[in-house]
Structure formats: C-alpha cells, structure tokens
Structure 1
Amino acid sequence: MAALHGRSAIVAGGSRGAGAGVARALGSAGATVYVTGRTVRGGQPPLDGAAGTVDDTAAEVTRRGGCGIAAPCDHTDDAQVEGLFARVQQEQGRLDLLVNAVWGGNELPSLQADWGRPCWQQQQGPAAGWEAMFTAGVRPALIASYHAARLMAAQGSGLVVNVTYAFPGDKAGTYLGHLLYDLAKVSLSRLAFGLAEELRPHGAAALALSPGHMRTERVLQHFGTDEQHWQEEPGLAGSESPEYLGRAVAALAADPNVLRRSGQVLLVGELARQYGFTDIDGTQPPPFVPPL
C-alpha cells in the first residue's frame, strides 16, 4: 500500500513548476490530490507560453496510482478559494495536506533583468512586484491556509506546507538579491511559523519548505533545453527536478512525527538525506547556494 493511500491533499498552483512536481510525487505515493490553478486545457495560456495545465497534472497523478482531480481556481478570488475547500470537505470529509505553491512572481517580465539591482533602479516600480509576489503569492497562501487550518484544527491533524526559499545554515539572515522577492519569501516562512503556533495545540502542523535550483518548465525554457538534455547546460549544474521537492513533501506528509518539525524552515536537500529519498535521476542534490 502506498504511504499516502487514503490521504487527501490540495496542491495550490499545481499546473506546472513546483506545484506540479509536488502533485506528481503525491500521486506516486497514492494520495488523492486536488490540483488547482488558472490554466486549463483549451484555455488562455500564460503570458510566457509555459506548458502545463491543472488537467495535465491531475491526469499524471492518476496515472501514477493516486487520484488526481483537476480543480480550476484563481487563488486571487476569495470566493473561488472558499468554494474549493468546501468542495474538498464535502467530497473527502477531511483535508490532510495543503501545499501552497501559488506564485505570480515568475510572470513579472522584469524580474530577471532587475535581479541584483537596488529597488530604485529597477525597470518596474514596487507596485508591479507587489501584485506579482504578494497579491498572487503571499496572499493566496494566507487565504488558503486560513481555510485549511479551520478544517485541520477541527479534525485534529493535518499539514500545511508553504514553498519558500532559504539558504542552508542561514534561513532568515541572507538577502536574496531582490527586495520584494526577499520580502515575499520571508513572509511565506513567517506565515508557516505563526500558523504552526496556532495549530500545534490542535495536533496539526505547518512549515516552510525550500527547494534548490529547480528545473521548472520556465527555467528549462530560459536555458533553451529540456529535461532530457539539461546536463549539457552549465548553468543548470547542481539543479533538481520539481519532483525532488514533491518527494520531500510526500515524506513529510507520511511522517507520523511531523509535528516536531512544525514552524521550521526546511531544505529539500537536507530532508533527502534524513528520509532517504532521491531525485528522479537517483541523485541527492545538496541544498543549493547560488552566488550573490
């Protein structure tokens, strides 16, 4: 029997990237996964044309032995989010796992060009970055966590995972190189910490989880390569597939003692050694530390 057979999960932002990698790994573990996002088959594609829909990811979850359910949802629309959690409660009777992987920052056209520049020298002002990283990033995590916490506190169990970014050995003190990006990622980590404090007396957990340099669809597109040829690109040395993150989430969700990790910022590369899982190529990439 798969480790997560009978468990229900919501992966918010599961069309592609980190969220899709998490959903696939949960499918391999036998979970029922509601894959949410705005991109559906036959609908409007992202501005940069990145591949992936909630339907594609849900189908892959099912193909791997789980139960994938495509649940289109705009996480900036509170009514849609409320409806999503009501649906899961009605259909499953419980919610065991929420993964907050919604992130609009990748759709900010100037993000790469502005990286490393002082905020006052960036091509776009702070308003654009706020909309992409907070309105379409931090706020969706807050709203989804609110609904998940209400269900988990009532049932006396559950896990909320916020996808963030952090450095090994210095999980809050190193500047990430872009003012709003740094502020958003630290906010996601702090959200998990505060939620953990409130959920702990009710037997549920919350934590932040940091992957390394992920080979998402957008990253592979940026380097002009694909998953079969990425080793030929020096800029992707030491990178990891989004499913490495997913396997970390699956390991945490299956851990009966996960409450002891509640409130922490955890690194995928460190968890791989602790739980014994690997990336899809059989390797265990260590936590990634880019030059700043």
Structure 2
Amino acid sequence: MNDTWNAPDLGGKVAVVTGASRGVGRGIALALGEAGATVYVTGRSTRTGERTENMPGTVEDTAEEVTRRGGKGIALRCDHGDPADNAALAERVAADQGRLDLLVNNAWGGYERSAEVRFDAPFWEQPLWRYELFEASLRGQYDVTRRLVPLMLPQQSGLVVGISFSDGDIYLGQVGYDVFKSAADRMCRGMAADLRKRGVAALCLHPGFVRTERVEAAWAAMGSGPASVVHSPEYVGRAVAALVTDPQVMERSGQVLSTGDLAAEYGFTDVDGRRPPAFRLEGRMSLATRMHRLNKVVSASSGQDR
C-alpha cells in the first residue's frame, strides 16, 4: 500500500501537545504541523538541558520539524508535574494567541526508573515512588487542562484529547498502572460532561503498539524487528487531525476511541500505507509485562541503571 493521507487544513488552528519531544507526542505534533497548525511543543528534554532518561529528542527538534512541514512549531520547556510551569504555559499561549483550539494531553512520566524495580512486580513489591510517578502524570494532565480550557471557552469550540490505554475489563498487569490509565479515561469523560454546554469536546484516544524511540532501542538491542501490529507515532497524529476537523466531533465527546478504529472510519493510513487495526491485549502478554521487558532491554543496552 502507499501512503494515502491527505492532510486536512488546520491553518489558523492553535494546538498544545504535551510530552512532544519524542514518541507519540512528537508524532502528533508533526501530523498537526503537516496540516498547517501552530503547535506549542512541550516537554522536559531540551538541547541546552537534560534529556529525560537520556533518550533522543528535544522540544526544539520537534518544533523545528513542525515548522519544516508547513506549520509553526513553538518549543517550550515544561515539567507538567510543576504547577508553576503549567501556569506559565497557559500565560504564554494566552499572550501569544489569545485562544486555543486543541489540547493533547500526552505527557506521561510513569515509565521512568523502570529498571530499578520490575514494572510488572506484584503491588506489595512495588515502591511508592512508582505510584507517585503515575499520580503526578495524571495530576499534570488535570492541571494543564484546567488552565488551558478557559482559552477555548470564549469561542465555544475546541477539543481536549487525552492519550491513554485500557482494554475494557482486562487487567493491564500492574495495579497502579491499571488504576491510573483507567482513571485517565474516566477523567476525559468527566471533563466532557462539564464542557458539553460550552461547545468544547473532550475524549480519550488509545494508540496501539507504537514504534517509539524506546521500542526501537529495544529492538536494536534484541536484534529483532517490529511486530506486525506496530505503527508509527504519526498514525496517532493523523487520528487527532481527523478528529479536529470532524464537524460532528461533539457527538464523540466523553468517548474512548482507538487509533485503528478511527483510521478505518476516516480512511487514513499510517506513513507506510498500512492500516493497523485497533490494538487489543487479548492473546498477548499484559501491557505491564511488555513495558518491563522493553525498559529492561533499553537500560541494559545503554549501560544505565535506573
């Protein structure tokens, strides 16, 4: 198959994508840039400072690529676990634009320090700091949203997208992880209820098995190639772009949606022309076990002891 995506016109639209120095956030920002949007790219990894987990990618790298593709990328160093950083972000967007059309809550610090204790260990062997990483990630999403949504209210339009993952009643393999990923879905539903009369939609979007920098590093260390269900980060970005331009998006507000299902419905493909279906855990190892193995391989291959 060939890449059949025709980028929609998002010229004049203003977006904030959190956690966009790499991974899914970067893929979303790039797709929005290709559609012509102005994208505020946030994250903790910068060219002049530290990079989280020593992984490649910075907010400046992503912002420059957004601009190269036809949008306008604006890089902002932001720790979303810090309320002061979130307040500064909201003030900056308000001063620059006076409005906001799209917020993508992608930042998630819950995989950090994963090699210190098995990610899929039973809850009584889990350190409290891991729970606190999950908690800070969800709290950051809540804080960012409450600060940025007021920039959508005057025009009575806008979209909040939470990036998460759950699979019905299937346990994700780690108590804290399962609780907070389910909570992220539930938070979107609650926000949608509060926003419904203001013309702003809020929903949760589930990627599949994404070929991120972390996953690629693990494959390189293991000497194995991608699974057939894997997709690029930009596949998720194309789903977000389709939702932003859907005139009926309010009908989806409060829902939990899958990238693969949206690809089939809206007719877009991944960058390689394939259309991977919605990712399901049934018949596969739990997501916590998958992440534990990936993190362990990445840490060992880079000589890190995190």
Q: Tell me, yes or no, whether TM beats 0.5.
A: yes
Task: Tell me the equivalent position of 2:267.
Answer: 276
Given that 1:108 and 1:132 are in contact with CA atoms closer than 8 Å, whether structure 2 keeps it comes out as no
In structure 2, distance between residues paired with 1:250 and 1:41 = 28
The Cα of 1:243 is off from its aligned counterpart by 0.7
User: Structure 1: how far apart are the matches of 2:280 and 2:118?
Assistant: 20
Alpha-carbon offset, residue 166 of structure 1: 2.5
Contact 2:192 2:201 in 1 (8 A): yes
Q: Secondary structure at the match of 1:114?
A: coil
Deviation at residue 161 of structure 1 after TM alignment = 0.4
* Alignment check: 8 A CA contact 1:166 1:267 kept: no
- Residue 234 of structure 1 and its aligned partner are, at CA, apart by 5.0
Alpha carbons 2:98, 2:151 under 8 Å: kept: no
Is 1:153 matched with 2:156?
no
C-alpha contact (below 8 Å) 1:105/1:111 kept by paired residues: no
Q: How does 1:116-131 map to 2 (within 5 A)?
A: 117-120=121-124, 122=125, 124-125=126-127, 127-131=128-132
Contact residue 148 and residue 160 of structure 1 kept, 8 A: no
Deviation, structure 1 residue 89: 1.4
Once residues 58 and 86 of structure 2 are traced to their aligned partners in structure 1, the CA distance between those partners, rounded to angstroms, is 18
Partners in 2 of 1:73 and 1:6 — Cα distance? 24
Per-residue deviation, 1:153? 2.3
- Between the aligned partners of 2:226 and 2:238, the Cα distance in structure 1 is 24
Structure 2 length normalisation: TM-score? 0.86
Count of matched residue pairs: 277
Distance 1:67 1:235 in 2: 32
> Is the 1:210–1:265 Cα contact (8 Å) retained in structure 2?
yes
Q: Could you tell me whether the CA contact under 8 Å between 2:8 and 2:242 is conserved in 1?
A: no
Output aligned runs, 1:84-233, within 5 Å.
84-110=89-115, 113-115=118-120, 117-120=121-124, 122=125, 124-125=126-127, 127-135=128-136, 137-167=137-167, 170=168, 173-224=169-220, 233=224
> C-alpha root-mean-square deviation of aligned residues, in Å?
1.8
Question: What's the counterpart of residue 74 of structure 1?
Answer: 79
Query: Are the counterparts in 1 of residues 219 and 225 from structure 2 also a CA contact under 8 Å?
Result: no
Distance, in Å, in 1 between the alignment partners of 2:12 and 2:226 is 40
2:16 corresponds, among 10, 14, 18, to: 10
The alpha-carbon deviation at position 112 of structure 1 amounts to: 8.3
Following TM superposition, where does structure 1 have runs of at least 4 consecutive aligned residues deviating by more than 4 angstroms? Answer: none
1:38 maps to 44
Letter in 2 for 1:257: Q
Q: 1:155 to 1:141 in 2, by over 3 A?
A: same
Shift of 1:111: 8.1
Q: Which has the higher contact order (CA 8 A, sep 6+)?
A: 2
Give distance in 1, aligned partners of 2:226 and 2:76: 35
Q: 1:170-202 CA distances to partner (integer Å, 9 max, x unpaired)? A: 3xx211111111111111111100000000100
1:15–1:35 CA contact under 8 A, matched in 2: yes
Question: Cα offset for 1:16?
Answer: 0.7
Tell me the SS of whatever aligns to 2:192. helix
SS of 1:289's equivalent in the other structure is coil
1: CA distance, partners of 2:146 / 2:8: 29
Q: Does the CA-based 8 Å contact 2:45-2:58 persist in structure 1?
A: yes
SS for the counterpart of 1:288 is: coil
> Do 1:13 and 1:101's aligned partners in 2 also have CA atoms closer than 8 Å?
yes
Partner of 2:260, secondary structure, is helix
Q: Percent identity?
A: 48
Match of residue 258, structure 2, among 241, 259, 267: 267
